[in-house]
Amino acid sequence: MNIRIGTRKSKLAQIQTDYIISRLKEKYDFDFEKVLIQTEGDSRLDVTLDKIGGKGLFIKEIEFALLHGDIEGAVHSMKDVPYEVGDSFKIAAMPIREDVRDAFVSMNGVPFEALPKGAKVGTSSIRRSAQLKLMRPDLNIVPIRGNVETRISKIQKENLDGIILAAAGLKRLGMEEIITNYFDPFEFVPAVGQGALGVEILKETEYREVFESLDNKEVRLCVEAERSFMRRLNGGCHSLIGAYGVLQGEDLYMVGTFEVGNHIVKKDILGKKEEHLRLGELLAEKILKGAL
């Protein structure tokens, strides 16, 4: 039996898919094939995501392949998955979550706090840009897009003092040593689902149980709480939004940030983990009230 698993073409996406395939091979004596798919988000690097439709651009062509039977499963970074998944699809598993933090990669090893006034820092993320400006209003934010290796190469090409990347991607690529600083996720709030992998399938697939066997309930609980927060705020690439949930015994603690009007509001919440979806909604409402 051959089960085909689709993914983006980047080195990081392939490493993530290889990890999922290795986990599946531990459980099942099937053949698993990696299928590389070019997405619009990867093709159009000349403009920022919010100008061309947001993060769904990283999964649309992959979902098309699922619908047309070209693949049986797909591997995504959960931070690229919009909060509304189409009726035909299901996130069957969230097997693992790597380091959720954002990381600063410096030109010459100069730490973030020692950057000179007016330093040029690269990122195309609205969330990262806004939080950087809160910490250092003097910074010159330069938009950069592309895969991890492309963005790193732009440090020298565009004479940047540094760039902001997800620590998870750098660690999965074996590039942890180039990280100059990590940002505290409770202060510099990560993207919703940052660091988590998701396996998407068609709801009606005969392989549902195969993929669902990889699910990590603790990862899912935290990511679903964050996605509930995002859904309530109708957040995405067009807005400044971030959330991070972590289990504390039987409780879930979550911090979230969102821009309401011209105000960046950050709040937190603590509650029973069984009520994780409601906690996400309550945190969103707390932020909306806090902006009044």
- Active-site positions? 80
CB 101 within 8 A of CB 185: yes
Task: Compute the distance between CA of residue 25 and CA of residue 152 in angstroms, rounded to an integer.
Answer: 33
Q: Kindly list the distances between the CA atom of residue 230 and the CA atoms of 29, 68, 153, 287, in Å, as whole numbers in the listed order.
A: 38, 29, 32, 12
3-state secondary structure 71-114: CCEEEEEHHHCCCCCCCCEEEEECCCECCCCEEEEECCCCCHHH
Token pair, residue 88, equals 């035909």
User: Exposed, middle or buried, 63 (CB in 10 Å: 0-12/13-18/19+)?
Assistant: buried
> 245-273: buried (b, 16+ CB within 10 Å) or exposed (e) per residue?
beeeeeebbbbbbbbbeeebbbbebebeb
CB atoms within 10 A of CB 67: 13
